[in-house]
Amino acid sequence: MDGPCGLAVEARDFGLRGPRGWAFRGISADAEPGSLIAVEGPSGSGRTCLLLALTGRMRPTEGTARVGGFELPGRMAAVRRVSALAHVTGVTDLDPALTVGEHLRERALLQRRFGDSLRQGLLRPRGGRRREEEKRRVDTALAGAGLDLAVLPKGARTAVRDLERVEALRLSLALALLGRPRLLGVDDIDLKLSSAERAEVWDLLRSLTASGTTVVAVCGEAPHDAVVVGTADDRHDDTKGAADALAGTGLS
């Protein structure tokens, strides 16, 4: 299956001011479709808010940005339709009590009801064809995220609480990939990972860009081959406030 066509990301003097001051300000970026974009900066520097703004989940307050052909903030809804998020605390949290298979089935059902209906309408497959298509989509998402159910302790019945950190990140990515996004946002890929695990995750994200998806990843230290967008260390990243706002609007 051909990969998605990624989106170019451009920004000029992009900023977002929240109740406690500027989350980020003066951000500029210029990345081609299918790029690996690293939002680099220390925790608390506005990284998560910038990720959410570039994926159409938070409204910027100054400057300009264009994601594909969509200008922000005017076309936020359009950007949300072609983007997805993974590993964002308070927004895409996995339920530790659910199994891997339950997460995948739930997301596939949501995608069928609220995702593809916007694009396919009456052309959606039914019955057996629909189930076959959903299985293909799940298999493709798992392959893209590098998550092999066969190596998990109980396969698809493995509870999220029993996953290793990288396995949980891969599951979050697989859930995001079920929507076949053209832009994928991934938060804090450094979180509690060893150097070897971080290298593994960066290789995974590179493989997604090689298939056509534009990836925006938040990190403390960017790899040499990424398009780097830096955030200053003297600004406040109100991640909890962002998550609360998203929960209230249903934009996650």
What would the pLDDT profile of 213-230 be if each residue is shown by its tens digit? 999 999 999 999 999 999
How much is the average pLDDT of 55-69? 96
141 pLDDT band, cuts 50/70/90, is very high
Alpha-carbon gap, residue 82 to 68, rounded angstroms? 10
β-sheet with 214-219: strand ranges across? 83-86, 183-186, 214-219, 36-40, 227-230
Question: Tokens at residue 108, please?
Answer: 């596939």
For the chain, what percent of residues have pLDDT higher than 90? Answer: 77
Alpha-carbon gap, residue 43 to 121, rounded angstroms? 42
- Mean pLDDT, the chain, rounded, equals 88
Helix 195-210 / helix 127-145 crossing angle, nearest 10 deg:
130
Count of CB atoms situated within 10 Å of the CB of 117 = 12
How much is the average pLDDT of 195-216? 97
Cβ burial of 145 (10 Å; 0-12, 13-18, 19+) is buried
**Domain 9-249: CATH superfamily, name plus number:** P-loop containing nucleotide triphosphate hydrolases (3.40.50.300)
For the chain, what percent of residues have pLDDT higher than 70? Answer: 85
244 pLDDT band, cuts 50/70/90, is very low
Element housing 137 (H / E): helix 127-145
Q: Say what the pLDDT of residue 127 is.
A: 58
Q: Say what the pLDDT of residue 46 is.
A: 95
